[in-house]
Amino acid sequence: MKNITLGLLLLFISVTTFAQKNTNPRAAWFTDARFGMFIHWGIYSGAEGFWKGEKLRHHNNYAEWIKFRNSINNEEYITLLDRFDWNDIQPEEWVILAKKSGMKYVTITAKHHDGFALWDSKVSDYDLGNYSHPKRDIIREMADACKKHGIKFCLYYSHWVDWEHSYGWNHSREIYPLQPEEYDQYWQEKVVPQIKELLSNYGDISMLWFDMWLPHEKTIVTKDQLLQLKSIIRELQPNCVVNSRLGLSIEENPDIDYKTLGDNKLGNKKEDFPWQSPATVAHSWGFHSSDAEWQSTTALLKALISNVSLNGNYMLNIGPRANGDVPYEISHRMLEMGKWLDVNGEAIYGAEAFDLDKDQHDWGKITCKKEGDKFKLYLHLYNWPLNKKLNLTGVTTAPQKVYLLADKQKQPIDFNFSEVFTEINLPHDAPDNYISVVVAEYNSKPNISDGLIAKTVDNGYSLLPGNQNPKAASITIQPKGRKKTIPEHVIISEKMTFSWKIYVDEVGEKDIDVSYSFQNQKNVGKITVSIENQTLTHQVLPTGETVGEPNMNWHIDYFKSNRLGKMNFSKKGYYTVKMTVEPQKKKEIKFQWLWIK
């Protein structure tokens, strides 16, 4: 109860002190940093994904799992260290790469699931102190390098899984059970004392990153054991941040500092508490010689921006080879990210989510920050609009100034503001080859009008079943199917009404189109669209089927766009768009979208 009370108190304090809600003082640096490096390096790095000519026995190709996957015993596994040239390995280079890449913290695998320690542990002989020649302590070298270069030093420690210890957990224990008292012996004689070593001998540890991806109730680890470990951390290093993969969720224990998502899982909703995505540039975490699934620099930047726009962090992994070299495909992309952050880092570090819906605009994402007496919206443009117009919908305050973040002179860009719509006149050329950032600056945090359908980059309005205002809880949206050749839609068998709210900044006539699928052979049912005192009625027509792929019996319902007619928008302002779909004799109509332009 004492820990829970303390955690709640810290959360209360954080709400009144820090910009991002539900962030305790320990994690303030974490939410400010936003971007960090993960390092998977150990004995497995010498295998490079193969053992005795056989590739890793798993489709995910996680090279660091080769000891378990390929059933390698401890004695043979340790011979992989013969491939390491200890005179070549320079961990400081990893820290320098992190700094040049714009990363603010580094997390290295002090002990991965193989149970091997990258420091000279007095607890176990299964460590670098006994197997490196000359003797090396990679954790010490990393700690010193991080301090030298101003990078937060963090450690990964596998506490749940340990393939070396006689009583450590490995997944074969599901067949050959391990008794709780045996597991506790492993816990007390290896986990606890090694954590004490790491927290006592290497200076400030900014974060301990644990890797139990299941809730403790589904594992052999007990809640008492986890609380014991957390208590030791709080005692020895009170400022050390702990992640939810310790095995305690932030809902279960408010003293947990942040939530860790699944591997390579990006955020999909705004959260007020701190959270993080661990991610890879390719696929494997440890070095795998056959890995070639490299993400582009643009994709990695989008992942970082998207997470920050939802109050999240992004920790991007390197898997150095046994000689310490980082694959070029990884280092090149990270250095390109660093160059982007040199120019645009203001929109990432210390930035957070804005109040508009995450999918409000089709041109990119928004992050924001209060800076001095100014409040800034950072508009991340994933694609430079062909018409050189940037449409910002939903902000009811006019910006004081708009400029390109890449412009050191902050030369103002022309814009037009109308009630809830800001149209920004962009220069002809994008300032960045990856993602350009436009800054809209306000005297205080701007107000919003929630629930509006934003004007798209091609100046239309895309009205979907899922973006109604208010959102209809009763609607079931069918997901995309048959390799996404069947679009999202709603199946309507009884009369149903939809409602959307838009803001029109350009008066005049606009076309109204609707997309649906109707598989009946007769014209049965109607669709009515009304805006103010104008109404269009459409007789539902059979759409038939189409072919997804030839010669594969890939026949699917055809979703067809139908022109309903035109409507006149005589003045600038808010409009409520209502659409009623009326099937007859319960003949299903599959509605996809309504389009206004």
Average pLDDT over residues 474-488: 95
Cross-strand pairs, 541: none
The answer on 412 and 274 residing in a single domain is no
Contact 3, 227 (CB under 8 A): yes
Nearest to 477 by CA among 468, 492, 488: 488
pLDDT tens per residue, range 421-443: 999 999 999 999 999 999 999 99
**Per-residue confidence (pLDDT) for residue 474, from 0 to 100:** 80
Query: Is it the case that residue 12 has pLDDT exceeding 50?
Result: no
- pLDDT-derived band at 6 (thresholds 50, 70, 90) equals very low
Residue 178 lies in a domain: no
Residue at which a domain ends, from 327, 347, 367: 347
The DSSP string of 533-544 is TEEEEEE-----
pLDDT tens per residue, range 279-321: 999 999 999 999 998 999 999 999 999 999 999 999 999 999 9
- pLDDT-derived band at 19 (thresholds 50, 70, 90) equals low
Query: Is it the case that residue 502 has pLDDT exceeding 70?
Result: yes
Residue 148: is it exposed, middle or buried by C-beta count within 10 angstroms (0-12/13-18/19+)? exposed
The answer on 404 and 545 residing in a single domain is no
- pLDDT-derived band at 521 (thresholds 50, 70, 90) equals confident
Query: Is it the case that residue 323 has pLDDT exceeding 60?
Result: yes
Number of domains within the chain: 3
The answer on 498 and 361 residing in a single domain is no
Average pLDDT over residues 66-88: 95
**Per-residue confidence (pLDDT) for residue 3, from 0 to 100:** 41
Residue at which a domain ends, from 390, 418, 450: 450
pLDDT tens per residue, range 34-48: 999 999 999 999 999
**Per-residue confidence (pLDDT) for residue 522, from 0 to 100:** 83
Rounded to whole angstroms, the Cα distance separating 472 from 396 reads: 25
> Which one has a higher pLDDT value, 576 or 585?
576
Residue 455 lies in a domain: no
The answer on 554 and 592 residing in a single domain is yes
The answer on 207 and 104 residing in a single domain is yes
Cross-strand pairs, 529: 536, 579
Contact 240, 26 (CB under 8 A): yes
How many CB atoms are closer than 10 A to CB 539? 10
How many CB atoms are closer than 10 A to CB 54? 11
Residue 296 lies in a domain: no
Percent of the chain scoring above 70 in pLDDT = 97
Residue 133 lies in a domain: yes
Domain that holds residue 372: 354-450
The answer on 236 and 266 residing in a single domain is yes
Tokens of 165: 């210890």
Query: Is it the case that residue 93 has pLDDT exceeding 90?
Result: yes
Query: Is it the case that residue 1 has pLDDT exceeding 50?
Result: no
The answer on 265 and 118 residing in a single domain is yes
The answer on 423 and 446 residing in a single domain is yes
Query: Is it the case that residue 486 has pLDDT exceeding 50?
Result: yes
Query: Is it the case that residue 524 has pLDDT exceeding 90?
Result: no
Residue 177 lies in a domain: no
pLDDT tens per residue, range 398-421: 999 999 999 999 999 999 999 999
- pLDDT-derived band at 15 (thresholds 50, 70, 90) equals very low
pLDDT tens per residue, range 149-193: 999 999 999 999 999 999 999 999 999 999 999 999 999 999 999
Average pLDDT over residues 88-99: 97
Rounded to whole angstroms, the Cα distance separating 95 from 106 reads: 7
CATH number at residue 237: 3.20.20.80
**Maximal CA-CA distance, the chain:** 85
**Per-residue confidence (pLDDT) for residue 289, from 0 to 100:** 96
Spatial CB neighbours of 533, under 8 Å, sequence gap ≥ 6: none
Percent of the chain scoring above 90 in pLDDT = 92
- pLDDT-derived band at 18 (thresholds 50, 70, 90) equals very low
Read off the pTM.
0.93
**Three-state secondary structure along 394-434?**
CECCCCCEEEECCCCCCCCCCEEEECCEEEEECCCCCCCCC
The answer on 362 and 234 residing in a single domain is no
- pLDDT-derived band at 13 (thresholds 50, 70, 90) equals very low
Q: In whole numbers, what is the pLDDT of the chain averaged over residues?
A: 94
SS3 content of the chain, % helix, strand, coil (to 5): 25, 30, 45
Residue 297 lies in a domain: no
The answer on 401 and 252 residing in a single domain is no
The answer on 397 and 465 residing in a single domain is no
CATH number at residue 434: 2.60.40.1180
Residue at which a domain ends, from 450, 474, 495: 450
